[in-house]
Amino acid sequence: MSSSEKKPERHEAPATRVVHAGRAPHDNFGFVNPPVYRGSTVLFPTVEKLWNRDQPYTYGRTCTPTVKALQDAIAEIEGGAACELTASGYQAVSTAILAFVKAGDHILMVDNVYQPTRKFCDYMLAKLGVETTYYDPLIGAGIAELVRPNTRLIFTESPGSQTFEVQDIPAIAKVARERDLWLLMDNTWASPLYFKPFDHGVDVSIQAATKYIVGHADAMLGAITSNARAAKYVAQAKDLLGVNPGSEETYLGGRGLRTLATRLAQHHRSGLEIARWLEGRPEVARVLHPALPSHPQHALWKRDFLGASGLFGVILKPASRDAVAAMLNGLKLFGMGFSWGGYESLVIPFDATSYRTATKWEPEGPALRLHIGLEDVDDLRADLQAGLERLAATK
């Protein structure tokens, strides 16, 4: 069962919608949150109903009331016709792509995509007979020149993983419509609140709900939201692949969703404040934050996005590995670990040189990816300042 039934249109502000979407307290004895349904077997009252699958829920893998509540909420908030949940953001990516391709097809994949997505294309899709061409994230309408007779879909991610280029999604969407291609987007950075993919021509929006929707670094979850024409293909792929999220993880995603607007506003403010401060530091060559006027695609971001999250990149001036280690190892508030989107601040060093093929990654010095969490911004700034001073003092 998918969340594709037509819902009454709502006109509340986003902060109100994230609180109320997908909830029906009076269907659950007045309890505010949808309960956790754990289970596999669902009983039918008569054999006739079993033969006809004539009830809302038929098996735990296909859907439960807990899952449906969150699917309905995300679909409503993001503006899609239907949402399907998966066990991780990466599973959402792979399921969404597999929904539309077959052996002999060709896809266009943005060059700055999340690394596991690239690996999925290079290994799994290649084994299945699907060819991938990587394209410059700044190509815009020029992507038309890469379309082949067997091209099936275009995959976008904006801003791009780690290097934060902003794509011209409407220009790419125009090409996709004219060539009858599916347009998919990884929309995790902006969340359903700060970029509206269906208003810009996207067919399928993918969220690593592990990040901002869950929001507390305590659950893995993915979401695939589709427009009306794409929804049936995604639902079929989810069913055939046996994809389903865990009951507890789904509940945690629903709980996190209720505070998304409040948390994301704070991530936006704190992230931008730290990014502006870093631009003035002598150890920093440049800051990769789309909401900064210095970002090369700032005008695109300002045109299409409704806000910024807490994730951005920093290019340091030339420094040794020992200097970078001195900076990072002494940080007290920034943890070093993968993922992002939780309440906690994180930092990782990265080098995109080896996983860019259509474009070159040529930074001035070492690169860091920062996630600015919900801590006091003055404390975070002091932690980074001490780290940058250690960097400058180490040869």
The residues assigned a catalytic role are 61, 114, 186, 211
8 A C-beta contact, residue 110 and residue 165: no
- Measure Cα distances from 382 to 188, 224, 319, 331, 375 in Å: 29, 39, 21, 10, 12
**Angle at the Cα of 9 (from 4 to 15), degrees rounded to 5?**
100
Residue in the block written with tokens 């997908």: 22
- Measure Cα distances from 64 to 60, 74, 78 in Å: 6, 16, 21
